[in-house]
Amino acid sequence: MDKYLNDVMAEELVLGEERAAVAKFGREMLDKGLTEGVGGNLSQRGADGKVAISPSGIPYGRIDAEDVPIVTTDAEHVEGELDPSSETPMHTMIYRERPDVGAIVHTHSPYATTFAALGEEIPASHYLVEFVGTEIPVAKFDLPGSEELGQHAVDALGDEYNGCLLQNHGVIAVGDTVEHALETAQMIEYTARIHYQARNIGDPIVLDDEEIEALIEGLDEYRNLK
């Protein structure tokens, strides 16, 4: 479909901008190699509190704004013909517990998921861990799509982290917008790759919390300048 027509249609939809962003950045998530097939999911919260979330089991290249379902933060499906992501309980639980979060991206990126399979947090062996916090923590394993998995993700994120690994599963990244959350997911994958490579050569030097916290203070300013 023509991009202009897509933009016009998005303007006429409930949460049109949010649904268009989910469609657009879902394709980018796949193009950047952060997931495979129909794996992963992403969402963005609207000003009214409702959430636009990727549909279940639909290839990202076939998703347009009108295909993106809307749910409440209690996981009630209120708009759209397609079923919302099976991970809706995890997304909505994070939104309920973190009012500062405007968007969530869940990926299966390979290097980060390797550490998730090991159940190992990723320390600050590269300064870009600042996108998440002083480290990248790990949430305990539970069945995909379950409330229990959502609770483990909430526990790992706490109030201070913008991302975590899901043990034996993948990655969660959060942000103000889907674009910011996807950028954080990219930085998690990059940091995981650097840590993996460094460990295969020797013992990575880990930056201390004070150094990372100083970097975190300048991150919002950096993003505003982009």
Any catalytic annotation for residue 87?
yes
Give the pair of three-digit tokens for residue 129.
């861990």
Cβ proximity of 28 and 182 under 8 Å:
yes
Q: Chain centroid to CA 213: how far?
A: 22
Q: How does DSSP assign 135-157, residue by residue?
A: SB-EEPP--TT-HHHHHHHHHHH
Structure tokens at 44: 């963005």
Q: Residue 166 is encoded by which pair of tokens?
A: 């899901």
Cα–Cα distance for residue pair 95/98, rounded to 1 Å: 5
| Residue 70 and residue 50 in contact, taking contact as beta carbons nearer than 8 Å | yes
Q: What amino acid is encoded at 48 in this protein?
A: D
Stated length of the chain: 226
Query: What does the alpha-carbon distance between residue 133 and residue 172 come to, in Å, rounded to a whole number?
Result: 13
With contact defined as beta carbons under 8 Å apart, do 128 and 118 qualify?
no
Catalytic residue, candidates 17, 76, 79, 87:
87
Q: Which residue has the tokens 């009214």?
A: 48
Can you tell me which residue has the tokens 């990248």? 136
Euclidean distance between CA atoms 182 and 184, whole angstroms? 5
Active-site residues: which are they?
87
